[in-house]
Amino acid sequence: MNMIRVLVWEGQHDFAKRLERCLSQHADAEVIRYDDEVDHPSSMEAMDVDIVFISTTALRRYEKNHLAWKRIEGVPVIWVGSGEQSIYATTPLSERVVLPAYFNCASLSAVLKHTLHTVTQGATDRPLPGDDAISLTELPMAKDGDFVYQSPCMHRLVGNARLYGALSVNVLIRGASGTGKEYVARLVADSHPEYRSGPFVPVNCAAIPDALFESLFFGHVRGAFTGAVRDHPGFLREANNGTLYLDEIGDLPFYQQVKLLRALEDGVIHPVGSNETMRINFRLVTATNRPLINMIREGTFRLDLYHRISVVELYIPTLQERGGDEKWLLFTHAFRLALEKFSGDDIASPELPGWLKDWVYTSQFPGNVRELFNRAARLAAFYLGHGVLEQTECMHLLRAGEIDCETTGVCAPPDFSTRAEERSQVLDALEKNQWRRLETAEALGWSRKTLWLKMKKYGLSG
Binding stretches for ligand ATP (CB under 6 A): 146-149, 175, 177-183, 247, 289, 369-370, 373
Which residue's CB comes closest to ligand ATP? 180
Nearer to ligand ATP, 149 or 335 (CB): 149
User: Phi and psi (nearest 5°) for 411?
Assistant: -105, 10
Residue count of the chain, please give it.
462
Nearer to ligand ATP, 81 or 165 (CB): 165
Nearer to ligand ATP, 134 or 249 (CB): 249
Strand partners, 34: 9
Q: What is the smallest separation between the CB atom of 340 and ligand ATP, expressed in angstroms?
A: 14
CA distance 102 to 149: 30
CA distance 233 to 70: 50
CA distance 412 to 278: 46
Is 284 in contact with 170 (CB distance < 8 Å)? yes
Is 131 in contact with 140 (CB distance < 8 Å)? no
Q: What is the smallest separation between the CB atom of 136 and ligand ATP, expressed in angstroms?
A: 15
Nearer to ligand ATP, 169 or 337 (CB): 337
Q: Measured between alpha carbons, how far is residue 353 from residues 149, 365, 388 in Å? A: 22, 19, 10
Q: What is the smallest separation between the CB atom of 213 and ligand ATP, expressed in angstroms?
A: 20
CA distance 76 to 53: 9
Q: What is the smallest separation between the CB atom of 146 and ligand ATP, expressed in angstroms?
A: 5
Nearer to ligand ATP, 147 or 458 (CB): 147
CA distance 253 to 212: 13
Q: What is the smallest separation between the CB atom of 145 and ligand ATP, expressed in angstroms?
A: 9
Q: What is the smallest separation between the CB atom of 456 and ligand ATP, expressed in angstroms?
A: 33
Is 459 in contact with 427 (CB distance < 8 Å)? no
Q: Please list, in sequence order, all residues whose beta carbon lies within 8 angstroms of the beta carbon of residue 294, skipping any fewer than 6 positions away.
A: none
Strands (E) in 56-145, as ranges, are 77-80, 98-99, 142-144
Name the nearest CA neighbour of 51 among 123, 116, 117. 116
Name the nearest CA neighbour of 190 among 148, 155, 149, 242. 242
Nearer to ligand ATP, 161 or 369 (CB): 369
Nearer to ligand ATP, 45 or 402 (CB): 402
Q: What is the smallest separation between the CB atom of 239 and ligand ATP, expressed in angstroms?
A: 18
Provide the angle, in degrees to the nearest 10, between the axes of the packed helices 354-362 and 391-399: 20
3-state helix, strand, coil in the chain (%, to 5): 50, 15, 40
Q: What is the smallest separation between the CB atom of 237 and ligand ATP, expressed in angstroms?
A: 24
* Residue 19: Cβ-neighbour burial (10 angstroms; 0-12, 13-18, 19+): buried
Nearer to ligand ATP, 59 or 158 (CB): 158
CA distance 50 to 109: 15
Q: What is the smallest separation between the CB atom of 373 and ligand ATP, expressed in angstroms?
A: 6
| Run of H or E residues at 260 | helix 254-266
User: Phi and psi (nearest 5°) for 29?
Assistant: -135, 145
Q: What is the smallest separation between the CB atom of 461 and ligand ATP, expressed in angstroms?
A: 35
Q: What is the smallest separation between the CB atom of 371 and ligand ATP, expressed in angstroms?
A: 9
